[in-house]
Amino acid sequence: MLYYMYGINYAIKFILLPFFVAYFTPFFVFLSYFVSKENPMIQFFRFDSSREFDVELDIIGGREAVKFFIRRTIYLFLFIYSTLFLAVAIPFFQTPCFYIYFLGSLASSFYLVRYINYIVKYIKYKGGYIKLNNLFIEIKDADKIIKIPADEITYLEINPIGNLLIREKYTVTSFPRGLLRAEQVEVIPQVLQDMGPKRTALLKKIWEFIDAIAVALVLAVHIIQYIVQAYYIPTPSMVETLKVKDHLFVEKITYGPIIPKMFGMKEPVHLKFLALRELRRSDIIIFTPPVESDKHKDYIKRCIALPGDEFHIKDGFVYINGKRQDEPYTLGKPSDYSSFHITQHNNIEGIVPEGKVIVMGDNRTNSSDSRYFGYLDIKSIKGKALLLYWNTDDFRRRDFSRLGLIR
């Protein structure tokens, strides 16, 4: 029965995923398509003069060349952006993540070399072509024509930066295969004889797997950062609204997306113009606490007072702008400072400063909230609690009454 319940848990967790993926489908398709086209594996070929073939392949030019370099420029930007973004936004790792920086820098540097190679080769081979038949290979660049007889060719190689290398006994001639027209790129491997077809097939499958994993990772982290994220409640600070072992979704749309602080940025950027509405009193929010030792954690509390509000705690009750607040979610537990040492740092009595809010747990007698760490910066808010979808203890008791929207 327990395995069945865990199955329901994971099924519910991914029920909304197709809906959220739809927001990022254009980005996903673009990235996946061009990653697969930029296959960096090495292939070796024999020049089989006994086979009959005769093809002429042209270097791109005009609008086609402009589109080619625009796409590669965007792709280079996506490489660099994805590295910087993943390093600070990837979950389950302490951020910024050095390993992401390292791997992303290697990938970005490799693609930058490939990009520069395309530019240099385009200048040299603009208006050129390569002609292959069973007697010779002829290459035309911007200045001259080179003809290489078949009997002088030892083997050919497609290298990781997109060039076709024609190796003779004492020299090597390079041709930019990556600058051929899209429909002609795969013609060269088709007319030549692959020296290791099994190796090529294996490397292709490995590359496609890495491609799929990388794109899926970028997509998933974007969904977590900008759309929705699953959370687990480990403490009783929000009892009875949220209990220990609760699993919930937190949505990142209502208050507008927050671009995380990436390398070179002074602070995160909150895109308020994309928000559906402003933060309100009684919203249950997820945020990064202003506690140095807990910067790697997320807290969940209820928003009690907004910027400009006059806040006081008196006789066990919360007063906002002189009015005592009706807070049924506290279940009558008093609001006070009895468990806290009040200093200038965490004194929240009076007018709430601009850009700050006051947050408190529903379990007022067991919650580390603004009474402990002071005002919360609005920029630290990550999202709004949306949906309670699982609690292990409740499922064991077959109690589904608490599941649903969180208020």
| Range with lowest mean pLDDT among 4-8, 141-145, 176-180, 395-399 | 4-8
Q: Cis bond leading into 292, ω under 30°? A: no
Looking at residue 358, what is its pLDDT?
A: 95
Residue showing tokens 């398509």: 33
* CA angle 257–283–356, rounded 5-degree value: 70
Please state the rounded mean pLDDT for residues 120-126.
93
Instruction: Say how far apart CA 162 and CA 114 lie, in whole Å.
Output: 7
Residue showing tokens 């008791």: 397
pLDDT band with cut points at 50, 70 and 90 for residue 18? very low
Instruction: Say how far apart CA 373 and CA 297 lie, in whole Å.
Output: 14
Which residues, including other chains, have CB under 8 Å from residue 195's CB and lie 6 or more apart? 44, 45, 46, 155
pLDDT band with cut points at 50, 70 and 90 for residue 131? very high
Which residues, including other chains, have CB under 8 Å from residue 316's CB and lie 6 or more apart? 334, 335, 336
| Burial of residue 80 (number of CB atoms within 10 Å: 0-12, 13-18, 19+) | middle
E-only strand ranges, 120-272 = 129-133, 136-140, 145-149, 153-158, 164-168, 172-175, 193-194, 228-232, 246-251, 258-259, 269-270
More confident residue, 36 or 269: 269
Looking at residue 196, what is its pLDDT?
A: 87
Residue 248 CA, chain-centre distance (Å), reads 21
Domain ranges of the chain: 37-217, 227-405
The pLDDT tens digits of the residues spanning 192-251 come to 888 888 888 888 888 888 888 888 888 888 888 888 999 999 999 999 899 999 999 999
Q: Which of 407, 285, 258, 256 is nearest to 358 (CA)?
A: 285
| Range with lowest mean pLDDT among 84-93, 128-137, 143-152, 372-381 | 84-93
Looking at residue 119, what is its pLDDT?
A: 94
Residue showing tokens 């480990």: 234
| Amino acid (1-letter code) at residue 252 | K
Q: Which of 270, 269, 237, 242 is nearest to 256 (CA)?
A: 270
Please state the rounded mean pLDDT for residues 70-89.
89
pLDDT band with cut points at 50, 70 and 90 for residue 31? low
Q: Cis bond leading into 236, ω under 30°? A: no
Looking at residue 39, what is its pLDDT?
A: 64
pLDDT band with cut points at 50, 70 and 90 for residue 15? very low
356 is written with which tokens? 């700050």
pLDDT band with cut points at 50, 70 and 90 for residue 14? very low
Measured CA distances, 351 to 72, 83, 329, 358, 379 (Å): 53, 42, 24, 11, 19
Query: Partners of 358 in the beta sheet?
Result: 305
Instruction: Say how far apart CA 89 and CA 95 lie, in whole Å.
Output: 7
Query: Partners of 350 in the beta sheet?
Result: 311
Instruction: Say how far apart CA 122 and CA 128 lie, in whole Å.
Output: 9
More confident residue, 93 or 62: 62
| % of the chain with per-residue pLDDT over 70 | 90
pLDDT score of 26 more than 50:
no
DSSP symbols for 276-294: SS---TT-EEEE--S-GGG
Domain 227-405 in CATH 2.40.50.140? The answer is no
Treating both helix axes as pointing N-terminal to C-terminal, what angle do 98-125 and 62-89 enclose, rounded to 10 degrees?
A: 170
pTM for the full model? 0.75
pLDDT score of 49 more than 90:
no
More confident residue, 233 or 25: 233
Looking at residue 349, what is its pLDDT?
A: 92
Active site residues: 237, 301
Measured CA distances, 146 to 160, 173, 275 (Å): 23, 9, 61
Measured CA distances, 212 to 29, 36, 283, 286 (Å): 11, 9, 38, 31
CA-based diameter of the chain, in Å?
99
Query: Could you give the count of Cα atoms lying within 13 Å of 169 in the half-sphere of its Cβ?
Result: 4
| Burial of residue 384 (number of CB atoms within 10 Å: 0-12, 13-18, 19+) | buried
